[in-house]
Amino acid sequence: MKKEKNYWFDLENKVVVITGGAGLLGLEHGEAINHCGGVAIIADLDLKAAENVAHKIGGKSVGYHLDVTNQESIDNLLKDLVNKYGKVDSLINNAAINPVVSDKGLDKTRFEDVTLLNLQKELDVNLLGAVLCSKTFGTHFAKNGSGTIVNISSELAILGPDQRLYKQKGLKDNEQPVKPVGYSIAKAGLIGLTKYLATYWPEQGVRANAICPGGVEVNQSQEFLDEITKRIPMARMAKPHEYQALVAFLCSQASSYLTGAVISADGGRSVW
């Protein structure tokens, strides 16, 4: 079979919705889609930020408002995109409340302080929003006979957080900052969602896969970097662009026989 240039990763005129697209990795996912010829739809709670990111990506990229916890907002986005482009081809469930444990720690995130309200807020965005978006866009994909869903999970879906990484000198044990439980259970839930979706519409041409990324190096303290890199075989955190090819792979026909796959991209951290 003779292959055209870019055959594997060709996303020419494919419309790809990136939820939470205005954040750190949303820009990277959008650049990947744009690079492969696709239309990156940067959909975020923060419309202004989404428009800025779309502008930065350039090409056919556009910013839209989306609240993944609101069915009406998801329906409106699908309607607007179908009116404009005729169809949507891929969904990247990327939106999250991503709790970064800073030097000051996190307020009220210790397990002893968990409340139904806080947990619900986190699960609404990080897990249930992905379920609603998958239902809405997946139904559209199934009707069209094709579509790909990529769930951005985390290494913390398959590993327990190493809370020693966040320890602060001078604080009592019951005051130490921790990575909250909501993140772990939401990200593990995305793996369940991925497998559920993989067996739900396979005959309608809908594929669903998950990526479990490791942490990205941004502005962490040297002390934190020294500690975390000891736990990663490749001895470094990820650079923001290092998930781009994987996202393009999972959205494109290059991954045509992959569904229900959970891919760790963590510098080997989950191997140890």
Ligand X SMILES: NC(=O)c1ccc[n+]([C@@H]2O[C@H](COP(=O)([O-])OP(=O)(O)OC[C@H]3O[C@@H](n4cnc5c(N)ncnc54)[C@H](O)[C@@H]3O)[C@@H](O)[C@H]2O)c1
Q: Determine the interface stretch with ligand X among 31-39, 110-118, 159-167, 212-220 (rule: CB under 6 A).
A: 212-220
CA angle 252, 254, 258 (to 5 degrees): 90
When the beta carbons of 216 and 261 are compared against ligand X, the nearer one is 216
Measured in whole angstroms, the distance separating CA 212 from the mean position of its chain's CA atoms is: 9
Which stretches of the chain are DSSP H helices?
24-35, 47-57, 71-85, 116-123, 129-144, 181-200, 222-229, 244-251
Residue nearest to ligand X (CB): 23
Near ligand X in 2-41, by CB under 6 A: 19-20, 22-26
Among 16, 41, 66, 133, binds ligand X (CB under 6 A): 66
Contact 91, 207 (CB under 8 A): no
Among 34, 61, 134, 154, binds ligand X (CB under 6 A): 154
Q: Determine the interface stretch with ligand X among 4-12, 90-98, 173-181, 227-235 (rule: CB under 6 A).
A: 90-98
When the beta carbons of 100 and 171 are compared against ligand X, the nearer one is 100
Q: Does 98 bind ligand X (CB under 6 A)?
A: yes
Q: Name the residue with tokens 């907002």.
A: 73
Q: Is 101 left (phi over 0), alpha (psi -120 to 50) or beta?
A: beta
Q: Which residues contact 133 (CB under 8 A, 6 or more apart)?
A: 17, 19, 68, 74, 91, 93
Rounded Cα distance between 71 and 212, Å, is 26
Q: Is 124 left (phi over 0), alpha (psi -120 to 50) or beta?
A: alpha
Residue 68 CB, nearest distance to ligand X (Å)? Answer: 4
When the beta carbons of 150 and 198 are compared against ligand X, the nearer one is 150
Q: Does 125 bind ligand X (CB under 6 A)?
A: yes
When the beta carbons of 11 and 17 are compared against ligand X, the nearer one is 17
Q: Determine the interface stretch with ligand X among 10-18, 75-83, 89-97, 223-231 (rule: CB under 6 A).
A: 89-97
Among 16, 33, 57, 68, binds ligand X (CB under 6 A): 68
Residue 117 CB, nearest distance to ligand X (Å)? Answer: 16
Contact 176, 163 (CB under 8 A): yes
Q: Does 69 bind ligand X (CB under 6 A)?
A: yes
Question: What are the beta bridge partners of residue 40?
Answer: 16
Residue 254 CB, nearest distance to ligand X (Å)? Answer: 21
> DSSP letter string over 125-173?
IIIIHHHHHHHHHHHHHHHHT-EEEEEE--GGGTS---GGGG--TT--G
Residue 145 CB, nearest distance to ligand X (Å)? Answer: 28
Binding residues for ligand X, per CB under 6 A? 19-20, 22-26, 44-46, 66-69, 94-98, 125, 129, 152, 154, 213, 215-216
